[in-house]
Amino acid sequence: MATSIRRVVTGHDSSGKAVVAIDGPAPNVRIRAGARSASTLLWVEDATPADNTGSADKADRQIGVAPPPTGSIFRIVEFAPEQPGGPTISNEQMKAEMGLHAHGGPPPRHPYMHRTETVDYAVVMEGEIDMLMDDARDDVHLKAGDVVIQRGTNHAWANRSGKPCRIAFILIDAKPLKGGPA
């Protein structure tokens, strides 16, 4: 299901000259069968400001959805269309698969409901998808070219279009919200 993504990473040689350090298919692809998605991890920074020294591939690691504390993460997710009848995975199973903590509270309105303590920049690259919020009146239908700035809100992605949808996500660690649903 995952489309191969060419990743070009720049760096510096020993004299400080700009060079291409990596050029090829991004190798860190994770299929999330329960959530019917494929996630390609492109880069992770452990802190802000970022450290641009060294030549390590910072995406060569296993990590959940959220970035490290004070860090950031960049990935592209391909969402398959929902199956007839909707998702067959529970919210707890989805959160475990994505490396998120389960929280108490009322049952979510969709099995993929979750939130992270981040500010997320999302760009719909291809296809269409619905962003579900706590209240259906706030749901938004998104198409290729649309952008979402998500600020630690509870949400779910529901692809009801019948075709795959690809979204580029940059998540930046944020201060935890005080109160509010988890």
> Which pLDDT value is given to residue 87?
73
Kindly report, residue by residue over 137-165, the tens digit of the pLDDT.
999 999 999 999 999 999 999 999 999 99
Task: Give the DSSP per-residue string, 10-37.
Answer: EEE-TTS-EEEEEEEE---EEEETTTTE
- Cα→Cα distances 53→16, 38, 56, Å: 10, 30, 9
Spans of all domains in the chain: 30-173
| pTM beyond cutoff 0.75 | yes
Topology adopted by domain 30-173: Jelly Rolls (2.60.120)
pLDDT exceeds cutoff 70 at 24: yes
Amino acid code (one letter) for 170: I
pLDDT exceeds cutoff 70 at 102: no
